[in-house]
Amino acid sequence: MTGDGRIVLRVDGLRKWYGEVHAVDGISFEVPTGTVFTILGPNGAGKTTTLEILEGIREPDAGTMEIFGEHLTRVDRATKQRMGVLLQEGNFEEYLRVREVLELFASFFEASRPVGEILELVALEDKARAYVKSLSGGQKQRLALGAALVNDPELVFLDEPTTGLDPQARRNIWSITSDLRSAGKTLILTTHYMEEAEALSDHVCIMDHGAIIASGSPLELMLGLGQETMVEFSVEGLEDRELTALAGCCKEFRRDGDQLTVETEDLVPTLESILGWSRSRSLAVRNMVVRQPNLEDVFLSLTGRKLRE
Amino acid sequence: MGILRVARAHLVTALRERVTLFWFLIFPVFLLVLLSAVFGRIGEGGGMQFEIALVDLDSAGEGSFSSIVVGVFEELSSPREEGKESLFALHRPAADEDPAAFLADETARLQRGQRAAVVVIPEGFSVGVQSALMAADGGSPLVVRYSEGSAASEVAAGIIEGMVAGVDREIQRRAGRLSEAGEVVVSDVTVGGGEGSEYIDFLLPGIILMGFFVNGLFGIPGSILFARDRKVLRRYWVTPLSVPRYLLGLSLGHLTLCAIQFALLFIIGRFALGARIAFSGLDTIGILVLAAATFMAFGFLIASLARTGNAGMAIANVLNMPMMFLSGLFFPVAGLPAFLRAIIRVNPMSYLAEGLRASLGVQAATQSILLLVGVPLLWILVSAAIAARRLRWDVAR
């Protein structure tokens, strides 16, 4: 963990209910300066609602917030001067040029970075004179990130920054966020991509149904599953009765169509029994992978569901 | 700082988008040129004159009702002062010509567009009027033939009808049916009027108001609602930009757009179409600003009533035509049915049109200055109050 260990953001008992729907159901966490804090969870878990409260576009029903050492019931304008926000959904006027959008957003703040620097940061120098209308999805997202960074914020909220982007555009965003972290910014990120959470985060909290169900560094969370190893493989035309036989030799496994995942603490005997099982039944085992558990497995073991369904 | 950037963003996006550019700038200019070409005869510098044929099939002699009507038309077709054109160029059959044959010829000319109207005094007209006065039932009515395809012809027919209505009232008054002739003859009040003003001078203020109106009615709700629907606004609200600052910027951008619109129309009206009116008086400028502000407030009102941008455009579309045409912007409104006159009486456009034309000396005001300024002001206050309460700045969740 980097930074000086001071807490930039603290949330206690934050709650937002919409009638019967408990969008955010009394969550508490704190984020030290200079770290990347990720909220991971499926769609509808309450990630975006949590962020929108912290960004100042929704008011909580209950709970307290402390941002930059100030106790707040709702995020005020002075706090927004020091924050940068990349909303999950949003647009710019189609007939503004890239540079004009950044100039517009820069004018909303008391102090801002030179627009040229921002263009360079998000690699849009070539597009400075292009209309928003003409940008690709990835370019629009980089522009949005640029607009979120015009005021050189200490605290940056990124709500699903890479959703809907192609792999190249996603890597671009990741590289910019890594640079921000290196520059000592505090980042609060939501995502439902576990690769993203693993790659970028210092701290991950997993949210489901408005509550935090697990919290820790990616490594801590994965180690929390025990000393297990995952064996993944697929078997074409797998039938249920074959599975009964497999259950005899492997305790923990799950099936997703033709895809099987076996959890084991003792890798070699497990591999031998899988191979023996397939040989005795003349099944073709394909694409076998042995790997360490990831955040997806953590979520699955906690909720019995996958992150993206 | 934020305010000026918001103003600039509103202005440049309006000017860059082809649809808005067309409706806010090109369309008013087009309408101005078109209408003045149709009614004002560009380049001749003259007022408007209609070619009218008059046939008196009654021929009831001196002092009859038909001779009164003929007298009125002759009066209107003789120039009032040296060098001025009269409203009508009157064509009558020669002394030895057969009136029926003349009528057939003139009707053919009307169809070819060479006559704006043919007025026929039918046989038995004078007797009919007399018996109508006695028994209060209709005799043979005066017939005005006009061509529906031709705008000039329709306008001429309208003027004649108004005139005839005036003649009718005059006859009734003389017959003791009406105690006081309190109403005015509409004929030469509006078009090519007696004070030396040309049609373009009447038209230009109207087109300018129309431009402001369309601009406010569509431009304001369009900007706010589509930006809200597309979550352009939400991106502003996570910054320190406040709603009042955004509104101030938007209003400033909008008024600048109105100013550009005005400048364009004024330059074309003045230098290409020969308008002589000057918009330099303080009262004129005041009314122009009041008009732009009124229609802007109207735009905010519509924005506050609509759930989406498309709904806002639908509301604006519904209000657009009635508000524009029931206002005296393009033609006189006397003689319309009472319920339509009631709409005109609450329509701020009526007061703004009258106030602007009065301040320019194109047409005398019939209402007090208090009403001319007060009614639009009241509209601004009511619209702003409703908008402030109802307008939502982010999409419903």
User: Where exactly are the structural domains of chain B?
Assistant: 2-40+198-390, 48-188
Residue B162: both structure tokens together: 């108004």
Q: Is B241 in contact with A108 (Cβ distance < 8 A)?
A: yes
**Closest CB to A100 among B9, B231, B234:** B9
> Is A104 within 8 Å of chain B by CB?
yes
- Mutation target among A104, A131, A134, A155 for the B interface, most CBs of B within 10 A: A104
pLDDT value for B104 = 86
Contacts of B247 by beta carbon, 8 Å cutoff, 6+ apart: none
Q: What are the CA-CA distances from residue A141 to residues A86, A90, A191, A296, B35 (Å)?
A: 9, 10, 15, 26, 49
pLDDT value for A1 = 44
Q: How far is B6 from chain A (nearest CA, A)?
A: 7
Please list every residue in chain B whose beta carbon sits closer than 8 Å to the beta carbon of residue A102. Answer: none
In the DSSP assignment, the letter for residue B375 is H
> Is A59 within 8 Å of chain B by CB?
no
Q: Is A108 in contact with B239 (Cβ distance < 8 A)?
A: yes
CA A144/CA A164 separation, integer angstroms? 14
> Is B236 within 8 Å of chain A by CB?
yes
What confidence category does residue B135 fall into, taking pLDDT thresholds of 50, 70 and 90? low
Q: Is B237 in contact with A108 (Cβ distance < 8 A)?
A: no
**Closest CB to B394 among A57, A92, A144:** A57
> Is A17 within 8 Å of chain B by CB?
no
DSSP string, B90-125: EE---TTS-HHHHHHHHHHHHHHTS-SEEEEE-TTH
User: Which residue of chain A has the CA closest to B235?
Assistant: A90
Q: What are the CA-CA distances from residue B385 to residues A2, A227, B133, B218, B378 (Å)?
A: 52, 66, 54, 19, 11
Please list every residue in chain B whose beta carbon sits closer than 8 Å to the beta carbon of residue A149. Answer: none
CA A66/CA A8 separation, integer angstroms? 8
CA A127/CA A139 separation, integer angstroms? 9
Size of interface A-B (CB pairs under 8 A): 69
For A181-203, the pLDDT digits (tens) are 999 999 999 988 888 888 899 99
Q: Is A91 in contact with B2 (Cβ distance < 8 A)?
A: no
Q: What is the dihedral of CA B245, B250, B256, B262, to 10 degrees?
A: -140
**Closest CB to B234 among A77, A87, A100:** A87
Q: Mean pLDDT over residues A298-303, rounded?
A: 82
Structural contact between residues A184 and A3, judged by C-beta atoms closer than 8 angstroms = yes
In sequence order, the β-bridge partners of residue A234 are A259, A286
The one-letter code for the residue type at B395 is: V
**Closest CB to A87 among B2, B227, B238:** B238
Residue B141 has pLDDT above 90, yes or no: no
Q: Is B235 in contact with A56 (Cβ distance < 8 A)?
A: no
In sequence order, the β-bridge partners of residue A156 are A84, A187
For B241-257, the pLDDT digits (tens) are 999 999 999 999 999 99
- Mutation target among B17, B235, B252, B393 for the A interface, most CBs of A within 10 A: B235
Q: Is A90 in contact with B235 (Cβ distance < 8 A)?
A: yes
pLDDT value for B137 = 52
Residue in A71, A47, A48, A50 with CA at minimum distance from that of residue A60: A50
Structural contact between residues A299 and A307, judged by C-beta atoms closer than 8 angstroms = yes
CA B213/CA B207 separation, integer angstroms? 10
Residue A258: both structure tokens together: 């033709």
Structural contact between residues B84 and B47, judged by C-beta atoms closer than 8 angstroms = yes
Q: Is B13 in contact with A107 (Cβ distance < 8 A)?
A: no
**Closest CB to B232 among A56, A85, A93:** A93
Contacts of A293 by beta carbon, 8 Å cutoff, 6+ apart: A222, A225, A228, A229, A230, A263
Contacts of B67 by beta carbon, 8 Å cutoff, 6+ apart: B60, B61
For A215-249, the pLDDT digits (tens) are 999 888 888 777 678 888 888 877 777 777 777 76
CA gyration radius for chain A?
Answer: 23
Residue A295 has pLDDT above 90, yes or no: no
What confidence category does residue A294 fall into, taking pLDDT thresholds of 50, 70 and 90? confident
For A11-65, the pLDDT digits (tens) are 999 999 988 888 999 999 999 999 999 999 888 899 999 999 999 989 999 999 9
Question: How do A252-256 and A259-264 pair as beta strands?
Answer: antiparallel
pLDDT value for B13 = 93
Residue A216: both structure tokens together: 């820790």
> Is B238 within 8 Å of chain A by CB?
yes
Mean pLDDT of chain B: 81
Interface of B with A in 120-159 (CB under 8 A): none
Q: How far is A14 from chain B (nearest CA, A)?
A: 19
Q: Is A77 in contact with B240 (Cβ distance < 8 A)?
A: yes
CA A275/CA A302 separation, integer angstroms? 29
Task: Please name the residue that has the structure tokens 């004129």.
Answer: B284
pLDDT value for B46 = 46
CA B21/CA B62 separation, integer angstroms? 61
**Closest CB to A104 among B9, B231, B238:** B9
Interface of A with B in 128-157 (CB under 8 A): 131, 144, 147, 151
Residue B181 has pLDDT above 50, yes or no: no
For A68-109, the pLDDT digits (tens) are 999 998 899 999 999 999 999 999 999 999 999 999 999 999
pLDDT value for B107 = 83
- Mutation target among B238, B243, B394 for the A interface, most CBs of A within 10 A: B238
Q: Is the ipTM of this complex over 0.90?
A: no
Task: Please name the residue that has the structure tokens 């000017």.
Answer: B15
Residue B186 has pLDDT above 50, yes or no: no
User: Which residue of chain A has the CA closest to B9?
Assistant: A96
Q: How far is A124 from chain B (nearest CA, A)?
A: 19
pLDDT value for B196 = 42
CA A163/CA A166 separation, integer angstroms? 9
For B340-386, the pLDDT digits (tens) are 888 888 899 999 998 998 898 887 788 888 999 999 999 999 999 99
User: CB burial class (10 A; 0-12, 13-18, 19+) of residue A7?
Assistant: middle
Interface of A with B in 62-81 (CB under 8 A): 77-78, 80-81
Q: Is A91 in contact with B239 (Cβ distance < 8 A)?
A: no
**Closest CB to B231 among A90, A94, A110:** A90
The one-letter code for the residue type at A224 is: G
- Mutation target among B226, B239, B248, B392 for the A interface, most CBs of A within 10 A: B239
Q: Is B238 in contact with A81 (Cβ distance < 8 A)?
A: no
CA gyration radius for chain B?
Answer: 25
User: Which residue of chain B has the CA closest to A102?
Assistant: B5
Q: Mean pLDDT over residues B33-52, rounded?
A: 65
Residue B297 or residue B120, greater confidence: B297
Please list every residue in chain A whose beta carbon sits closer than 8 Å to the beta carbon of residue B18. Answer: none
Residue in A104, A54, A51, A48 with CA at minimum distance from that of residue A80: A54
In sequence order, the β-bridge partners of residue A235 are A285
CA B177/CA B188 separation, integer angstroms? 25
Please list every residue in chain A whose beta carbon sits closer than 8 Å to the beta carbon of residue B4. Answer: 107
Q: Is A96 in contact with B236 (Cβ distance < 8 A)?
A: no
Enter the CATH code of domain B48-188. 3.40.1710
pTM: 0.74
CA B201/CA B213 separation, integer angstroms? 19
> Is A94 within 8 Å of chain B by CB?
yes
> Is A95 within 8 Å of chain B by CB?
yes
Please list every residue in chain B whose beta carbon sits closer than 8 Å to the beta carbon of residue A57. Answer: 234, 237-238, 394
Which CB contacts under 8 angstroms, 24+ apart, belong to A289-293?
A289/A231, A289/A232, A289/A233, A290/A229, A290/A230, A290/A231, A290/A232, A291/A229, A291/A230, A291/A232, A292/A222, A292/A229, A292/A230, A293/A222, A293/A225, A293/A228, A293/A229, A293/A230, A293/A263
